[in-house]
Amino acid sequence: MSRRVILVLSGLAVLAAVMVGIAQLTGGEDATLHPLGTEVVVGYQEPKDDGSSGERTQFGLTIVAVRRGTQEELEANGIEVEPEDRTATPYYVDARFTNRGPSAVERAPSVGLEDSDGNTFRSLIVFGGGVEPFEPCPEASGGGLEPGGSGESCSLILVPDGLDVAKVYYLSDHGPDKEPEWVYWAPE
């Protein structure tokens, strides 16, 4: 069995941290909590591999399900987790998305989880390993997504032991002239 390693892409993590900091100053706690299955149109600017910004578009984003996984599932599928994360609970967030904007993009938007104390946890990127997808949470299919195109994705998120998941979040980016906006869904 080949091994895969969970990592957070550093360039995207820095961009997300800046966006989170800005959004925290804009009153995100007053945002609506949408039920699962509700489509919300969100802004998206595709990140490039070098950390710069790519195409801007809008997505109709629907959180379909939030599933609790196990560390045993990760291990059985050849995923290595850093020692400090081996007691964390994996969650799988299933999403549906439709490109409702003017630009084709290569990547689907990713979502995160927030606990009851307001701590946020980003989706993880799985690198390396075999050709088989991670069965409990396959990533979005590769290739571009033209305007009007749709797809499905699953985000793998590790939540530290003992914390309760309160919300699914997406940080919507509607452009340089507008402040980022938190969009939330209830996890059940």
pLDDT digits (tens, 9 = 90+) for 13-29: 333 444 444 444 334 55
Alpha-carbon radius of gyration of the chain: 16
* pLDDT above 70 (res 106): yes
Mean per-residue pLDDT of the chain: 80
pLDDT for 4 equals 44
Instruction: Report residue 97's pLDDT band, with 50, 70 and 90 as the boundaries.
Output: very high
Q: Which residues constitute the domain of residue 119?
A: 4-185
Place of tokens 């080949």: 2
CA-nearest of 167, 56, 59, 42 to 116 is 167
CA-nearest of 158, 16, 157 to 84 is 158
Give 129's DSSP letter. S
**How large is the average pLDDT for residues 126-138?**
67
Q: Which residue has the higher pLDDT, 40 or 110?
A: 40
CATH number of 147's domain: 2.60.40.1240
pLDDT for 27 equals 42
Dihedral angle, C-alpha 5, 14, 11, 85, nearest 10 °: 0
How many domains would you assign to the chain? 1
Instruction: Report residue 128's pLDDT band, with 50, 70 and 90 as the boundaries.
Output: low
**How large is the average pLDDT for residues 160-181?**
92
**How large is the average pLDDT for residues 161-181?**
92
* pLDDT above 80 (res 65): yes
Q: Per the structure block, which two tokens stand in for 10?
A: 């550093």
Q: Per the structure block, which two tokens stand in for 19?
A: 């966006």
pLDDT for 29 equals 58
Q: What percent of the chain shows pLDDT beyond 90?
A: 45
Q: What percent of the chain shows pLDDT beyond 70?
A: 77
